[in-house]
């Protein structure tokens, strides 16, 4: 199957499944316009959000351990670039 090569509208991004978001992030060409850059940022943010949900749902013990590590880092004064799951 040849995947689409055009950027989807933002409304479609917000309703897309985790698998579709991953495919878009992998297959879409590098953004060339401000609109495309905005769509790509939202794609990646939404994918990250759904990734946390997927991990919590399918492997809650891993999400718990990950969050524990982030809590320990925070107590040490280390800011994490990733969000809690």
The pLDDT, as a whole number, for residue 4 is: 67
Query: What are the residue ranges in the chain where pLDDT is below 70?
Result: 1-4
| pLDDT value, residue 84 | 84
Determine the straight-line distance between the first and last CA of the chain, rounded to whole angstroms.
33
**CA 47, CA 83: separation in Å to the nearest integer?**
13
Show the tokens assigned to 32: 């060339």
Would you state the pLDDT for residue 76? 93
Q: Where are the extended beta strands (E) located within 8-68?
A: none
Distance from the Cα of residue 52 to its chain's centroid: 8
With a threshold of 0.85, does the pTM exceed it? Answer: no
| Amino acid 82: pLDDT | 82
Give pLDDT, residue 3.
60
Instruction: Give, to the nearest 10 degrees, the angle between helix 60-75 and helix 34-58.
Output: 110
């Amino acid at each position: 199957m040849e995947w689409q090569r055009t950027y989807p509208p933002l409304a479609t991004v917000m309703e897309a499944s985790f698998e579709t978001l991953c495919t878009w992030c992998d297959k879409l060409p590098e953004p060339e316009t401000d609109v495309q850059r905005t769509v790509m940022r939202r794609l990646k943010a939404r994918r990250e959000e759904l990734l946390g949900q997927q991990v919590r749902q399918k492997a809650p013990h891993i999400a718990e351990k990950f969050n524990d590590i982030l809590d320990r880092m925070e107590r040490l004064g280390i800011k994490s670039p990733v969000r809690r799951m």
